[in-house]
Structure 1
Amino acid sequence: MAFFGFKDIEKLSEVDMAVYRYIVDHDEQVPYMRVRDLATGAHVSNSSVMRFIHKIGYSSFPEFKVSFKSENQDLMESKSDILTMFTRDAFPQNIEKTIKLVAHLMLDADNIVFIGMGASGAIGEYAARQASSLGFNCFAVKDPYYPLIQQLSNASNNVLITLSVSGKTTELVEMLNNFVNSADTVLTSITGNIESPIARMGRYALSYSIEETRIHKYYDLTSQVPAVYLVDGLLKELHSQDLARQLH
């Protein structure tokens, strides 16, 4: 029996759910309550509380309280810094300056292209959509074999922003090699590795530090929160610079 692991929620009535929600919201007090205390708090009858206790698999209220207290303590002890994924120390000291410089490049670009694969590609799509909403000619490329060089062959003043946690993705490096010596295209990146080939290929690199996490050798579970944070900061700065330019 496990209260927090109870799976048959759909079998609970509205009265049952009132009891359930009250217990969840008062997890520290419940082990010290009597049946009538819980009933009063949930605005139900004593018998409704007992029907709920039996329905979730306990034979008595004392049995439920002992089990619930133990389960709740296990949950509390297993808690880590779930929401503290990174701090300001995860970014270089000059990150704000670099964001302003990249935003300035984007401000006057004829084409802005976000490039990435996998989760980075999804963030690139998000960034491109937001930049387009701000009125900029922007799109995302998730396929490293996309004929981007042909598409931009007659275009000038292009900014390519590559997203890559490792900064070493071979397919992306090969794609970017087509633009390294281009006078019409500026390469920049958002990466977790400032020493990586992708970071070194560009004029600017918005970098961050975070521990890479992989499972089953190939599946990357590294947090992309810092990358999204930088993307949002970049878009905010781009919008700010655009407004400032319009005022002048």
Structure 2
Amino acid sequence: MDFTFAQLSSFNETEAYIYNYVMQNKNQVLEESIRELANHVHVSTATIMRFCKKIGCSGFTEFKYKLKESLAVETYEQQFTEFSFGEFMKHVNTHKYSESIQKAGKLIKDADSFYILGLGPFGGIAKYMSHSFTQIGYYCYK
């Protein structure tokens, strides 16, 4: 689960203890009832409910749902990062990739002008590339 700085800094000692327990035992907490979690962190079920409400959940069931959802996202992101980097490195080291880079370089070299497209966070990169190509004599549309 993603907690804001404001949420984390507003936790009292008991809430911070609950938070730390949950973050260190996510899979176990998903299998526990509210009473079992309360017993593990040595608080009442009412304290767990107040904690759930403080972090924006209507109750313990929604809390567990959000925890499960965030755990699935973390797992996917970790697998995707490991997979994509490894696959990218394999792809970069192929003859086909080298030929593609050489072909793209030749197309750029032979062009009078060209478009550079960068969407979202890549807009800044597109602007930088356009500026760089303009500095060496190409006319770039961004």
* Residue in 2 that maps onto 1:46: 45
Q: Name the CA distance, whole Å, in 1 between partners of 2:44 and 2:74.
A: 29
Equivalent position amino acid for 1:44 in 2: V
Q: Name the CA distance, whole Å, in 1 between partners of 2:4 and 2:39.
A: 23
Alignment of 1:1-248 (within 5 A): 3-7=1-5, 8-79=7-78, 80-81=81-82, 216=125, 217=128
8 Å CA contact 1:22, 1:42 repeated in 2: yes
Q: Name the CA distance, whole Å, in 2 between partners of 1:18 and 1:40.
A: 13
8 Å CA contact 1:31, 1:65 repeated in 2: yes
Q: Name the CA distance, whole Å, in 2 between partners of 1:76 and 1:27.
A: 12
Q: Name the CA distance, whole Å, in 1 between partners of 2:29 and 2:4.
A: 17
CA RMSD of aligned residues (A): 2.0
8 Å CA contact 1:6, 1:56 repeated in 2: no
Equivalent position amino acid for 2:2 in 1: F
Q: Name the CA distance, whole Å, in 1 between partners of 2:61 and 2:4.
A: 18
Q: What's the offset of the Cα at 1:28?
A: 1.1
Equivalent position amino acid for 1:20 in 2: Y
Equivalent position amino acid for 2:36 in 1: D
Equivalent position amino acid for 1:66 in 2: Y
Q: Name the CA distance, whole Å, in 1 between partners of 2:41 and 2:4.
A: 19
* Residue in 2 that maps onto 1:112: none
* Residue in 2 that maps onto 1:95: none
Higher strand share: 1
1:111-164 Cα deviation digits (max 9, x unpaired)? xxxxxxxxxxxxxxxxxxxxxxxxxxxxxxxxxxxxxxxxxxxxxxxxxxxxxx
Equivalent position amino acid for 1:5 in 2: F
Q: What's the offset of the Cα at 1:44?
A: 1.9
Cα pair distance change 1:31/1:6, threshold 3 Å: farther
* Residue in 2 that maps onto 1:89: none
Equivalent position amino acid for 1:78 in 2: E
Give the length in aligned residue pairs.
Answer: 84
Equivalent position amino acid for 1:68 in 2: L
Higher helix share: 2
Q: What's the offset of the Cα at 1:75?
A: 1.0
Q: Name the CA distance, whole Å, in 1 between partners of 2:12 and 2:3.
A: 18
Overall identity of the aligned pairs, in %? 27
> Could you say which structure has the larger radius of gyration?
1
TM-score, normalising length: structure 1: 0.31
Q: What's the offset of the Cα at 1:5?
A: 3.2
Q: Name the CA distance, whole Å, in 2 between partners of 1:54 and 1:5.
A: 13
